[in-house]
Amino acid sequence: MVWVLDPEHTQVGFAAQHLMVATVHGRFTRFDAEVTLDPAQPERSRVTARIDVASLDTGNAERDRHLRSAAFLDVDRFPHIEFTSTQIAQVGPDSFWLRGDLSIHGVTREVTLRGRFDGSVDMLADAPAVRFQMAAEVDRDDFGLTWNNALDAVGILVGRAITITIDAAVQQPDHAPTRD
């Protein structure tokens, strides 16, 4: 059965080292996904997701403009980040991994997300929902996001490792809320 994201209860985030002493956290506010969910046989499930890169928000307007610019994500040329699963495996009662193709900045790489299934609940109006969390670490250089600035005192301005986090709820399409 195909399920959709509940946008009010889903967050797509990222984190990167900054100045090698701090971590900058950000999120994307516009995204969509379709989940073909088979709770009885999780390995038969599938996920496709699309993120609107222009919706990036780190809480700092100047940094956000720089991240959207041609120096980093180049939103004008690459307006979306996309993910298509290729394999899912349940590795414990509440844990799984999700392997798939992640496309950022015109480059596609295989990525494995570690996941935790937080269970299913009946939302308002008896609408079934499933909640899960996933995370992966990627090297931004692998996606052609190589801008950096050497700093004498601390090394480099932005770390190469980017942590991607997804905290999501999915519902059956007939019951899913829509975004205004």
Give residue 37's pLDDT band: very low, low, confident or very high (50, 70, 90). confident
Give residue 174's pLDDT band: very low, low, confident or very high (50, 70, 90). low
| 75-103 pLDDT per residue, tens | 999 999 999 999 999 998 889 999 999 99
Question: Do 178 and 36 touch, CB atoms closer than 8 A?
Answer: no
35 pLDDT higher than 70: yes
Q: What is the pLDDT of residue 110?
A: 98
Question: Do 53 and 73 touch, CB atoms closer than 8 A?
Answer: yes
φ, ψ dihedrals at 29, nearest 5°: -100, -10
Distances (CA, A) of 8 to 12, 32, 45: 12, 12, 23
- Whole-number average pLDDT of the chain: 85
Question: Do 148 and 177 touch, CB atoms closer than 8 A?
Answer: no
Q: What is the pLDDT of residue 127?
A: 67
128 pLDDT higher than 70: yes
Question: Do 25 and 39 touch, CB atoms closer than 8 A?
Answer: no
Domains of the chain: 2-171 (2.40.128.110)
Q: What is the pLDDT of residue 175?
A: 52
- Give the whole-angstrom CA distance, residue 53 versus residue 104: 9
